[in-house]
């Protein structure tokens, strides 16, 4: 069908869901990769335009996964940019923010970023951006290189309080915060107490508790709780907004909530695996527990999981990300590298493709969160927090036409005379990553993204071809400052550490 000049596609019969509203019986007109008009009976205005019938189903903004590890040097068996972003669009995600990781020995960030651009350019199925992982924050990097990288569209950094040789001391973190505050960068923190973990690990190894479950024993809640409280204190001292990544502990989440009630610009992220799994997963036979080794560790107490769900509902958490950081299981450089000791098991789980479906089915359809909260956590807030709030994360004229179209619910199907998706149990061979397992194996899904649309182009059609986009469809996104968070210009006493 020939499209009307200026209008490339109209999505009809959509139940449009954003972070603030749910509006049924809507049409969405798309032109030049942008949403240009929402309303009813739009095909009557543009009778020659191509149409795609949502059949009454929810249409949500394309997912923005703001915590993804792809083709990093420390993960030789993980996903490439091609395989990782391919799985992203199959799960309704249209934007990923991945990491350009500095080694401790790297004296400059410029070659690091150039190399990650080389790896990603022409390989991505979806749009993408970079965070910087800082492990050697020299004065030259903080004062000379970060401003250049910010001007090139990289507006966030991640810091580690644990892992050798990546971790930074408190003084180094404060020095980085001073620079990120000045430059308007978003500061991400992996919050665990390194010395606690090291001490517990040594004790466990001395007692030959080296099985995968030892990982959970070595990284107890208290290591996350203490580091979370400490980094909140550092951020308050420096007057710097922070985002604490992949939170899992009830008390740590309470620390975040307490800071927010004092109006501190403290944000937090959790992940589906901290919502659905306990540390029992690490006790599997035949080394199966290694599949669920991640940091922070999965928690023993189901009340921690309940606290994560509560934190989603009450806005303690700003984002839900996948922390997609997989390694193959049956590979000598993958998870089985750690058969002699949990300390050698590569950390991380696959989850990019399953992030939206698990949250939709396990959150929205169970009534744990609303569809508006789902959109807020998985798309709108990540876009705003990481400097994409003017182009990504909602459905309105002027924004990129990044859309996820679901299958109709029973009620939606009945009102539109169509059918629902047939429920299925997930198996890894259904997924599109290059990893040999999924922690969600056997989970039942009653919905899944039916179509994924990237800047007006259908790139995923579950019923007709699956992946219909191409490698190279994705573009690098130059990001600006956060529109969700900024310094308060309030200090802990009368002294302003930034005054001249």
**What is the predicted pLDDT for the residue at 121?**
98
DSSP one-letter string for 322-384:
--B----SSSTTTGGGGSS-GGGSPP-B--TTTHHHHHIIIIITTTSS-HHHHHIIIIIHHHH
Q: Tens digit of pLDDT for each residue in 459-472?
A: 999 999 999 999 99
- Cα–chain-centroid distance for residue 54? 26
State the Cα–Cα distance between residues 49 and 43, nearest whole angstrom.
7
State the Cα–Cα distance between residues 405 and 61, nearest whole angstrom.
9
Contact (CB, 8 A) for 260 and 247: no
Q: Tens digit of pLDDT for each residue in 342-361?
A: 999 999 999 999 999 999 99
**What is the predicted pLDDT for the residue at 282?**
98
**What is the predicted pLDDT for the residue at 454?**
99
**What is the predicted pLDDT for the residue at 1?**
35
Under the banding of pLDDT at 50, 70 and 90, the label for residue 74 is confident
Question: Nearest Cα to 63, choosing from 45, 31, 85?
Answer: 85
**What is the predicted pLDDT for the residue at 284?**
85
**What is the predicted pLDDT for the residue at 2?**
42
Under the banding of pLDDT at 50, 70 and 90, the label for residue 234 is very high
**What is the predicted pLDDT for the residue at 335?**
97
Does residue 71 carry a pLDDT above 90? yes
Q: Tens digit of pLDDT for each residue in 115-129?
A: 999 999 999 999 999
Dihedral angle, C-alpha 119, 124, 127, 128, nearest 10 °:
-30
- 198: tokens are 């090291």
**Domains of the chain, with CATH numbers?**
9-60+393-467 (2.30.40.10), 65-386 (3.20.20.140)
Mean predicted confidence (pLDDT) in 229-235: 99
Q: Tens digit of pLDDT for each residue in 128-186?
A: 999 999 999 999 999 999 999 999 999 999 999 999 999 999 999 999 999 999 999 99
Contact (CB, 8 A) for 439 and 335: no
**What is the predicted pLDDT for the residue at 500?**
81
Mean predicted confidence (pLDDT) in 465-486: 97
Under the banding of pLDDT at 50, 70 and 90, the label for residue 5 is low
Average pLDDT taken over every residue of the chain: 97
**What is the predicted pLDDT for the residue at 84?**
99
Kindly state the DSSP code that residue 298 receives in the 8-state scheme. Answer: P
Contact (CB, 8 A) for 161 and 231: yes
Quick one: angle between helices 221-238 and 250-261, nearest 10? 20
Kindly state the DSSP code that residue 134 receives in the 8-state scheme. Answer: P
Tell how strand 9-17 and strand 22-31 pair up: antiparallel
- Cα–chain-centroid distance for residue 401? 20
Strands (DSSP E) contained in 109-180 are 127-133, 156-160
Does residue 217 carry a pLDDT above 50? yes
**What is the predicted pLDDT for the residue at 3?**
46
Q: Tens digit of pLDDT for each residue in 92-106?
A: 999 999 999 999 999
Strand-pair partners of 396: none
Mean predicted confidence (pLDDT) in 410-414: 97
Mean predicted confidence (pLDDT) in 245-260: 99
State the Cα–Cα distance between residues 13 and 53, nearest whole angstrom.
6
State the Cα–Cα distance between residues 352 and 281, nearest whole angstrom.
19
Question: Tokens 């606690």, residue?
Answer: 196
**What is the predicted pLDDT for the residue at 4?**
45
- 128: tokens are 């993408």
pTM over 0.85: yes
């Amino acid at each position: 069908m020939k499209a009307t000049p200026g209008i490339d596609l109209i999505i009809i019969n959509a139940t449009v869901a954003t972070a603030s509203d749910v509006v049924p019986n809507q049409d969405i007109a798309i032109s030049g990769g942008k949403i240009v008009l929402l309303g009813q009976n739009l095909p009557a205005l543009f009778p020659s335009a191509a149409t795609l019938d949502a059949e009454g189903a929810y249409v949500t903004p394309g997912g923005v996964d703001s915590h993804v590890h792809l083709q990093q040097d420390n993960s030789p068996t993980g996903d490439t940019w091609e395989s990782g972003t391919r799985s992203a669009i199959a799960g309704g995600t249209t934007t990923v923010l991945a990491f350009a990781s500095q080694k401790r020995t790297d004296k400059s960030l410029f070659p690091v970023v150039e190399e990650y651009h080389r790896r990603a350019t022409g390989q991505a199925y979806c749009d993408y951006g970079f965070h910087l992982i800082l492990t050697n924050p020299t004065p030259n990097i903080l004062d000379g290189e970060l401003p250049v990288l910010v001007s090139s569209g990289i507006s966030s950094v991640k810091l580690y309080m644990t892992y050798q040789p990546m971790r930074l001391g408190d003084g180094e973190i404060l020095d980085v915060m001073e620079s990120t505050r000045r430059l308007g960068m978003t500061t991400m923190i992996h919050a665990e107490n390194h010395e606690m973990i090291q001490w517990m690990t040594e004790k466990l190894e001395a007692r030959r508790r080296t099985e995968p479950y030892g990982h959970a024993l070595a990284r107890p809640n208290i290591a996350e709780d203490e580091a979370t409280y400490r980094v909140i204190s550092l951020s308050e001292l420096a007057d710097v907004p922070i985002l604490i990544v992949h939170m899992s502990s009830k008390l740590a989440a309470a620390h975040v909530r307490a800071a927010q009630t004092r109006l501190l610009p403290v944000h937090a992220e959790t992940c589906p695996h901290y919502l659905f799994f306990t540390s029992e997963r690490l006790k599997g036979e035949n080394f199966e527990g290694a599949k669920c080794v991640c940091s922070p560790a999965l928690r023993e107490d189901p009340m921690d999981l309940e606290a994560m769900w509560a934190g989603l509902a009450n806005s303690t958490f700003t984002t839900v990300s996948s922390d997609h950081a997989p390694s193959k299981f049956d590979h000598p450089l993958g998870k089985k590298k750690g058969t002699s000791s949990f300390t050698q098991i590569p950390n991380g789980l696959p989850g990019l493709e399953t992030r939206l479906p698990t949250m939709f089915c396990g959150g929205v359809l169970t009534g744990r969160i609303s569809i508006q909260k789902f959109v807020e956590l998985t798309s709108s807030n990540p876009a705003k927090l990481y400097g994409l709030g003017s182009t990504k994360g909602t459905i309105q004229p002027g924004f990129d036409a990044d859309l996820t179209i679901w299958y109709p619910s029973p009620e939606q199907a009945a009102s539109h005379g169509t059918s629902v998706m047939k429920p299925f149990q997930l198996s890894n061979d259904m997924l599109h990553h290059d990893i040999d397992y999924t922690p969600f194996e056997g989970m039942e899904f009653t919905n899944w993204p039916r179509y994924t649309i990237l800047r007006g182009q259908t790139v995923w059609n579950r019923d007709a071809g699956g992946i219909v986009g191409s490698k190279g469809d994705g573009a690098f996104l130059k990001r600006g400052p956060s529109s969700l968070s900024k310094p308060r210009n309030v200090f802990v006493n009368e002294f302003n550490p930034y005054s001249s």
